[in-house]
Amino acid sequence: MAERLTITVNGSARAVEVEPDTPLLYVLRNDLALNGAKFGCGLAQCGACTVDIAGKATRSCVTTVGSVTGKPITTIEGLGTVEQLHPLQRAFIAEQAAQCGYCINGMIMTAKALLERTKLPTEPQIRAALADNLCRCGTHNRIVRAIQRAAKEMA
């Protein structure tokens, strides 16, 4: 049965009326009209749906909305806007680190959590952190360069 739940997304309390076992991904996309997190597999295999929950990169396709009430949720929309870009977003543009771009939300959100743990990660550390984020276009090396660029700017 649908319940009235309150979740905190990008700093705002948002009330939604859904079943608590609904995957967070559909609540973000369909109830809150946030496009950043993408449906890729629904199986936590590809990373396209990654959001930040209390500082941890989390797969929103297998995270129920009921389990995250009271925890701060940050989506890529919460990082920055086209006018006021987050250093990671700025770096992805500077490196032109996208082809189709469908996976990029997951890359940026996973990188955000990495940079909060490790200020200046080595290239192997970046590659290891993104090992479970799939990219099909072959943009991997640009993504790594973008994260290195952002890390330098943020450090």
Partner 1 sequence: MVGPSAFGLALSRRRFAQGAGALVLSFGLRSRVGLAQAAPAKLPGDLDHDRRLDAWIKINADGTVTVFTGKVELGQGAKTALAQIAAEELDVALGRVELITADTARTPDEGYTSGSQTIEYSGTALRFAGAEARQILLELAAQKLGVPVERLIVADGVISAQDKPATVSYWDLVRPGLLEREATGTVKPKPAARHTIVGTAVERVDIPGKVTGGVAYVQDLRLPGMLFGRIVRPPSPGAVLTALDEAPARKLPGIVAIVRDGSFVGVVAEREEHAIEARTRLRAGAQWREQDSLPDPKELEAALLALPSQPSTISQKGTPPARTTKTLAARYARPFIAHASIGPSCAVAELRDGAYTVWSHSQGVFPLRRDLAKVLNVGEDKLRIIHLEGSGCYGHNGADDVALDAALLARAVAATGPGRPVKLQWMRDDEFQWEPYGTAMVTEIKAALDDKGMIADWHYEVWSPTHSTRPGQRGGSFLLAGWYLDKPIAAPTPVGIPLPAGGGDRNALPLYDFPSQRVVHHFTEAQPLHVSALRTLGAHCNVFSIESFMDELAAAAGADPVQFRLAHLQDPRGRAVLEAAAERARWQPHEKGDGSRGRGVGFAKYKNLSTYVAVIAEVAVDRAKDTVRVVKATAAVDAGQIVNPNGLTNQIEGGIIQATSWTLKEAIKFDRRRILTESWADYEILTFPEVPAVDIVLLDRPDERSLGAGEASTGPMAAAIANAIANATGARVRSMPLTPAKIAAALG
Residues of this chain that interact with partner 1 (CB under 8 A) are 2, 18-19, 22-23, 26, 29-30, 33-36, 38-43, 45-46, 48, 75-77, 79-82, 85, 89, 92-93, 96, 98-105, 108, 124, 126-128, 130-144
Q: How far is the CB of 111 from partner 1 (least distance, A)?
A: 11
Residue partners of 61: CB distance under 8 A and separation at least 6 = 23, 24, 25, 39, 40, 41, 42, 43, 44, 49
* Shortest Cβ 27–partner 1 spacing (Å): 9
CB 54, min distance to partner 1, A: 20
* Exposure string for 19-41, b = 16+ CB within 10 A, e = fewer: eeebbbbbbbbebbebebbbebe
Dihedral angle, C-alpha 87, 88, 90, 96, nearest 10 °: 160
Closer by beta carbon to partner 1, 58 or else 105: 105
Q: CA-to-CA distance for 96 and 12, rounded, in angstroms?
A: 31
CB of 108 to partner 1, least distance (A): 6
* Gap between the Cα atoms of 69 and 97, Å rounded: 33
Closest distance to partner 1 from the beta carbon of 127 (Å) = 4
